């Protein structure tokens, strides 16, 4: 198994308009993304075969991508179909073919996979309740100066919230919580207990009766986190993030906040989006600081029991990095007590 076996988001479907080309980076590979004649997404290596200009700076002409340097034209398969300097003498050649990659679209996202020779066909992740009746979704996109592993760990880490997001999303109260953390089938599954009202701005609206919150966190290989809060009828939300590895230390994160607040769905939309972006900006800042320290001193961490989630996530991603299938790791289940 390799990281290239999986599908990764490269754009919102709405971003990829006809006659538009987008520049993207994925696992260190440069991509030019556009729509072909049939309207389907196309992903080519962002390099012209002629003089190494970048195709993403070119233009789309009737579903073909034209290099801005000397006008070479590429079709959806990467084949060079026009060389202006050769005029009427031009002939198609199998040697003139840019690298192209599989694409697909799902739940309003454009996905790319960097290999056709995959270990196993893993479909793109299904975003919870996307466009279902009674549910609303807001989407935000942010770039982190850190790697995927540290990003996904942050997104399913409770202890940091009281210090990085004080008042907005939890305060430090030394409240005793419990979690059951399970590593199974390439995933990390977390269930929490004893949570009630420590949700910052959201507490009064989301949990007026201070009932125990049903809260779970999920990590799905290789790069997806899903946080669920269920506080009863019309008080239910999912925060799902897909962390896209642009380079070793740059991660572009697409986050869906999908919620069911009943009659408040539409009215809450702007507040939910503003709050989500505000919280994520704080995470961008702290993960940038962490990334700087890691660049200088390396990744030696001092774990506590509350970091069991991180240990399991790292074991899964380390397995993929070494060409192994993390589903072959032994199942583990740990009960942890911690304080927030």
pLDDT digits (tens, 9 = 90+) for 60-105: 999 999 999 999 999 999 999 999 999 999 999 989 999 999 999 9
Cβ proximity of 81 and 63 under 8 Å: no
Instruction: Please state, for a pLDDT cut of 70, what percent of the chain lies above it.
Output: 94
How far is the CA of 186 from the CAs of 6, 121, 183, 233, in angstroms?
A: 13, 15, 7, 31
Q: What does the pLDDT look like over 106-119, one tens digit per residue?
A: 999 999 999 988 77
CA pair distance 170, 291, nearest whole angstrom: 24
Measured CA distances, 310 to 146, 152, 258 (Å): 15, 9, 25
Q: What does the pLDDT read at residue 119?
A: 75
pLDDT, average across residues 228-239: 88
Place of tokens 């939309």: 269
Q: Which residue has the higher pLDDT, 126 or 166?
A: 126
Give the integer Cα–Cα distance in Å for 172 and 183. Answer: 28
Using the predicted structure, report yes or no on whether residue 291 has a pLDDT greater than 80. Answer: yes
DSSP sequence for 175-230 = -EEEEEEEEETTEEEEEEES--S--GGGHHHH-TT-PPPEEEEEEETTTEEEEEEE
Q: Are 305 and 177 in contact (CB under 8 A)?
A: no
Q: What is the mean pLDDT of residues 44-58?
A: 96
The predicted structure's pLDDT at residue 207 = 56
* pTM given for the model: 0.92
Rounded to whole angstroms, the Cα distance separating 230 from 239 reads: 12
Domains 7-113 and 136-339 share a fold: no
- Reported CATH class of domain 7-113: mainly beta
Is it the case that residue 223 has pLDDT exceeding 90?
Answer: yes
Whether the per-residue pLDDT at 201 is higher than 70: the answer is no
Cα dist from 137 to 87, 127, 206, 232, 288, whole Å: 51, 10, 17, 19, 27
Question: What is the residue whose two structure tokens read 């050769």?
Answer: 86
Q: What is the pLDDT of residue 205?
A: 53
Q: What is the pLDDT of residue 204?
A: 56
Domain ranges of the chain: 7-113, 136-339
Class of domain 136-339: alpha beta
Mean pLDDT of 284-292: 97
Q: What pLDDT, on a 0 to 100 scale, did the predictor assign at position 166?
A: 87
Per-residue pLDDT averaged across 321-328, rounded?
Answer: 96
Listed residue (219, 313, 222) closest to 6, CA to CA: 222
């Amino acid at each position: 198994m390799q990281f290239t076996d999986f599908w990764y988001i490269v754009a919102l479907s709405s971003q990829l308009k006809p006659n538009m080309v987008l520049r993207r980076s994925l696992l260190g590979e440069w991509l030019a993304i556009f729509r072909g004649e049939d309207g389907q997404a196309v992903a080519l290596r962002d390099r012209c075969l002629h003089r190494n200009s970048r195709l993403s700076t070119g233009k789309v002409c009737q579903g073909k991508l034209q290099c801005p340097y000397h006008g070479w034209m590429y079709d959806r398969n990467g084949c060079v179909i026009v060389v202006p300097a050769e005029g009427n003498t031009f002939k198609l050649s199998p040697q003139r073919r840019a690298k192209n990659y599989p694409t697909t679209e799902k739940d309003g996202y454009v996905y790319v996979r960097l290999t056709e020779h995959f270990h196993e066909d893993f479909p793109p992740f299904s975003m919870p309740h996307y466009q279902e009746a009674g549910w609303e979704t807001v989407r935000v996109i942010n770039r982190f100066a850190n790697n995927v592993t540290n990003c996904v760990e942050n997104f399913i880490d409770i202890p940091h919230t009281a210090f990085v997001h004080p008042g907005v999303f939890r305060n430090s109260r030394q409240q005793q919580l419990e979690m059951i953390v399970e590593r199974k089938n390439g995933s990390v599954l977390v269930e929490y207990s004893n949570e009630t009202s420590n949700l910052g701005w959201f507490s009064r609206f989301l949990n007026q009766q201070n009932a125990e919150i049903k809260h779970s966190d999920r990590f799905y290989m290789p790069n997806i986190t899903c946080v669920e809060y269920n506080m009863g009828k019309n008080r239910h939300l999912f925060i799902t993030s897909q962390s896209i590895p642009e380079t070793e230390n740059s991660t572009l994160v697409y986050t869906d906040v999908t919620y069911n607040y009943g009659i408040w769905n539409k009215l809450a939309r702007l507040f939910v989006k503003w709050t989500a972006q505000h919280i994520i900006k704080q995470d961008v800042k702290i993960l940038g600081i962490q990334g700087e320290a890691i660049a200088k001193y390396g990744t030696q961490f001092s774990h506590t029991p509350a970091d069991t989630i991180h240990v399991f996530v790292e074991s899964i991603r380390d397995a993929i990095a070494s060409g192994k299938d993390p589903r072959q790791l032994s199942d583990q289940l740990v009960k942890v007590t911690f304080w927030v």
